[in-house]
Amino acid sequence: MSTASVKLPNWINYGLMPLINLIVAFLISGLVIWLIGESPLEALDFMLRGALGSGEAIGFTLYYATSFIFTGLSVAIAFHAGLFNIGSEGQAYVGGLGAALVALALDHYVPWYVTMPFAILGAALFGAAWAFIPAWMQAKRGSHIVITTIMFNFIGAALMVYLLVNVLIVPGKMAPETRTFLPGGQLPKLDWLMAIFGMKLGAAPLNFSFIIALVMCVLIWLLIWRTKLGFEMRTLGVSPSAAIYAGVPYVRTVIIAMLLSGALAGMMALNPVLGASARLQVEFVGGAGFVGIAVSLMGRNHPLGIVLAAILFGLLYKGGDELSFERPAITRDMVMVIQGLVILFAGALEHMFRPAIVKIYTRFAKG
Amino acid sequence: MVDVAAIELLGIDKRFGSVHANKNISLSVAKGSIHGIIGENGAGKSTLMSILYGFYQADSGEIRVSGKPVSIRDSQAAIAVGIGMVHQHFMLVENFTVLENLMLGAEGGAFLGRGADAARNELKRLEAEYGLDVDPDAVVEELPVGLQQRVEILKALYRGAEILILDEPTGVLTPSEADHLFKILEQLRDQGKTVLFITHKLREIMAVTDTVSVMRRGEMVATVKTKETSVEELAELMVGRRVLLRVEKQAANPGDVLLSVKNLTVKDGRGVVMVDNVSFDVRAGEITGIAGVAGNGQSELLEAIAGIRKPVSGEIYVNGELLTAANPAKLRDMGLAHIPEDRHHMGLVLPFEENENSMLGYHHDPLYGAGPFLDLEAIRKDAADKIEKYDIRPPDPRLKTANFSGGNQQKIVCAREIERDPKILIIGQPTRGVDIGAIEFIHRRIIEMRDAGKAVLLVSVELDEIRGLSDRVLVMFAGHVVGETAPDADEKTLGLMMAGIAA
């Protein structure tokens, strides 16, 4: 009780504490790896080298991070308005449809930079549309957003499979996916970005959506902390009763926040669909929507924190891939255990070490 | 009196970060006495009692019960040494019966039958001994608050409490219910129990206690025999300077009707009619007070007028315009400002910076930024101006609102609403949980509003406040306005009206 009220300097709150949490998560992960008879140090080496060891490795890490930035922002903006949107997964999936339809319609006729704004719009609109029904039901009928959004994940998945298998599939082919977009429907790779640092991107799918994601971070930061709408959303999120007192329109604010959340989730689809594989595939989201929850949590719902957390998770994804490839005893599931431990310590147990740090800090500050 | 003190505190010290809540406090409470502890909000009374009841641990110091040093780690330990607490907000399960509430946590085995019988017998004994009669099979939520409080006291006694701590017990009671409580406390004392009575109301201290200790800013500044002191002396000890207990004001000069309520009926969240066909007018240049015990529909009435709660039927005219169930933002535009009853729940967003709360509700004003954007510099400048004008401390518009004291938080709300220069000001409990210094300040501001020709509607459960500020008093009971009196009507008449006896 008493230690919670002690104010710590920012470098401890936002630097030292996440670092300690992360180290503890890695120590326990190391223990798990040691238990199954592998060397933890070697595993760490594989992971870090796999995720950061070359231009290509970094490219993969940032590619994953891009998706997580979008979904992390999606979760965060809803959270600021007091809404727990766990439907980013489904909204991203449906958003992919919007992006793909634009690419399929335009790629024959125009270059990528003309397609891009329409694709962004398409992805955002479809993602927002998928969030609209749960939003409306929450605002008007009081149906709990957690329940409705998770159900819409399933509905979205079923809808997309149906469309890919029956409507969008290339006639005569077995794979449930659209045709490959022409360059006019693709987002270019970021070779130049790597070249600035004297590295080669290689086969890594890092693409222009990374830039879009960073721009979105700035825009969302502006929205939340520098506009009246953002102020109203935050008021509603922290104190619904004070929001009513202040005349913040509940229905409108809830719906706008969820539409924005859905739009950001939808835009995540740009990265794999238009950037990496240049076609719409079944289950292309691959859990990024759910990782977004962890990223938002770990990033304290702040765009800058979300970028850092997204990169960390990108690192875990890419490093984990590498690890399970090099050491088959460490399976994909084991990598998920490591990711889970990071979420556990950095998110759920973030205050576990606080009392101890406060004690040390106050003693240090006094003496 | 017995030689050994029931409770002795020796050098109790407690810090919360930089806040020194209790400074080296020593206190001795005689067995079989009613000992009052008085102090402003934030003086450290609640912290001290929480230490005694095991919610907090003291950083240093010793607690002795009946002469023996004890360590009270949690409420279980407190009960074990015979300390029972009656909380300000009742800790009862509302849809359980009295008996079930009594047994809760002391069921005596996996099956309830035997424990229930034992509890019933014990309850009978307590009733006989202390005159605390209450129907054991009544459902708690159906009992009036006075009786609910009695259940709380019974709960403590049932667990074998020899020392009872009552934390602000009269806030929810009518004057006559409070008097009844005092009788019970006296009876408990006469049976040898020790009572610690915490309050910030001087009248109650004078009415019931044997000894009184005064706390100020975390320190125990005096302990005196109640008989040998006076209200004025205690007030001075509490605040540390001479206090004006009465509000000075000129006669009112009523003008046009600015706020008019006609046949208003409002239900609360559970669908219970809380305001029943109420009509009244509020005139410019006049303070209309609404007296009543908490929970008789005043809150719902205020919320309906402020556009927060939709009435079932009836009309509200603001400045002659029909504005029933209008959006609060629209009402603000019409010149109706609202200082809400509960600043934590409504008036402020506590985790926000002070300057953000300083514009809450008015944030669409172009003063705070053009179009959809916020102009942080303008907002902070505006907040700093208000801080200076209202002497809000600490004077930092970027400080988290939760870190201000109750009085300063209330000043933030008052500054925001009053500085908009509204035509109509509706106020709920303007000084709840506010220290005496700030009360004086806020009262003066309210009178100034009246003198500037504004219509003021004041709702308060503090009778002294209603009588001190209002130009006319309406009394609410069970959703009705049961009558109107002059503010100088005697307390007994008002008390009877508040209890719904005279109409």
- Chain centroid to CA A308: 11
Is the minimum CB–CB distance between A249 and chain B shorter than 8 Å?
A: yes
Using the 8-state DSSP alphabet, how is residue A168 labeled? Answer: S
Instruction: Report the SS3 class of residue A178.
Output: coil
- Chain centroid to CA B280: 26
Q: Write out residues in chain B with pLDDT < 70, as ranges.
A: 1-3, 17-18, 41-42, 241-246, 502-503
Helices assigned H by DSSP within B53-174: 75-80, 98-103, 112-130, 145-158
Q: Which of A150-154, A340-344, B228-232 has the highest mean pLDDT?
A: A150-154
Partner-chain contact B17 A5, CB within 8 Å: yes
Q: Which of A70-74, A166-170, A319-323, B433-437 has the highest mean pLDDT?
A: A70-74
The DSSP result for B285-312, as a single string, is: TEEEEEE--TTSSHHHHHHHHTTSS--S
Which among A229, A238, A249 has CB closest to B351?
Answer: A238
Is the minimum CB–CB distance between A142 and chain B shorter than 8 Å?
A: no
What number is the average pLDDT over the span A218-233?
Answer: 97
Residue B34: closest CA among B219, B263, B207 = B207
Residue B56's pLDDT is 86
Residue of B nearest to A7 (CA): B17
Q: What are phi and psi of A274, to 5 degrees?
A: -90, -25
What number is the average pLDDT over the span A157-168?
Answer: 96
| Best of A245, A260, A362, A366 to mutate (most B CBs within 10 Å, chain B) | A245
Partner-chain contact A238 B349, CB within 8 Å: yes
Task: Return the higher-pLDDT residue of B293 and A174.
Answer: A174
* Burial status of residue A290 (CB atoms within 10 A of its CB: 0-12, 13-18, 19 or more): middle
With beta carbons under 8 A apart, name residues in chain A contacting B376. 226
Proportion of chain A above pLDDT 70, given as a percent: 97
With beta carbons under 8 A apart, name residues in chain B contacting A227. 372-374
| Best of B20, B51, B360 to mutate (most A CBs within 10 Å, chain A) | B360
What number is the average pLDDT over the span A32-52?
Answer: 91
C-beta of residue B469 within 8 angstroms of C-beta of residue B287 = yes
Residue of A nearest to B339 (CA): A245
Bridge pairing between strands B257-267 and B313-318: antiparallel
What number is the average pLDDT over the span A221-236?
Answer: 97
Residue A2's pLDDT is 43
Is pLDDT of A21 > 70?
yes
Residue of B nearest to A237 (CA): B349
Residue B225's pLDDT is 93
What number is the average pLDDT over the span A169-174?
Answer: 90
Residue B245's pLDDT is 60
Using the 8-state DSSP alphabet, how is residue A189 labeled? Answer: B
The model's pTM: 0.81
pLDDT in tens, B266-307: 998 778 899 999 999 999 999 999 998 878 899 999 999 999
Both structure tokens of B140: 């708690």
Interface of A with B in 210-229 (CB under 8 A): 226-229
Residue B50's pLDDT is 87
Distances (CA, A) of B264 to B302, B480, B482: 11, 10, 14
Is pLDDT of A328 > 90?
no
Residue of B nearest to A246 (CA): B361
Residue B242's pLDDT is 64
Is pLDDT of A194 > 70?
yes
**Poorest-pLDDT segment among A44-58, A156-170, B70-84, B428-442:** B428-442
Residues of B with CB under 8 A from a CB of A: 15-17, 19, 56, 306-308, 327-332, 338, 340, 345-352, 356, 360-361, 363-364, 368-369, 372-374, 376
Helix (H) or strand (E) holding A297: helix A288-298
The yes-or-no answer to whether B5-239 and B257-498 have a common fold is: yes
Is pLDDT of A1 > 50?
no
Residue B3's pLDDT is 62
Longest CA–CA span in chain B (Å) reads 73
Is pLDDT of A210 > 90?
yes
Q: Which CATH superfamily is domain B257-498 in?
A: P-loop containing nucleotide triphosphate hydrolases (3.40.50.300)
B307: left (phi over 0), alpha (psi -120 to 50) or beta: left
Average pLDDT, chain A: 92
Interface of A with B in 47-76 (CB under 8 A): none
Residue B482's pLDDT is 92
The strand order across the sheet containing B321-322 reads B273-283, B257-267, B313-318, B321-322
Which among A5, A226, A246 has CB closest to B360?
Answer: A246
Domain locations in chain B as residue ranges: 5-239, 257-498
The CATH number of domain B5-239 is 3.40.640.10:
no
Residue B170's pLDDT is 81
Proportion of chain A above pLDDT 90, given as a percent: 72
The strand order across the sheet containing B219-225 reads B83-86, B163-167, B194-199, B34-39, B211-216, B219-225
Torsion angle defined by CA atoms of residues A50, A54, A55 and A61, in that order, rounded to the nearest 10 degrees: 20
Is pLDDT of A122 > 90?
yes
* Burial status of residue B153 (CB atoms within 10 A of its CB: 0-12, 13-18, 19 or more): buried
Q: Which CATH class is domain A28-34+55-350?
A: mainly alpha
C-beta of residue B479 within 8 angstroms of C-beta of residue B278 = yes
Cis preceding-peptide flag for B394 (omega within 30 of 0): yes
Is the minimum CB–CB distance between A232 and chain B shorter than 8 Å?
A: yes
Which among A227, A238, A239 has CB closest to B372?
Answer: A227
Instruction: Round to whole Å and give the CA distance between B230 and B244.
Output: 15
C-beta of residue B101 within 8 angstroms of C-beta of residue B92 = yes
Residue B238: closest CA among B44, B56, B3, B449 = B44
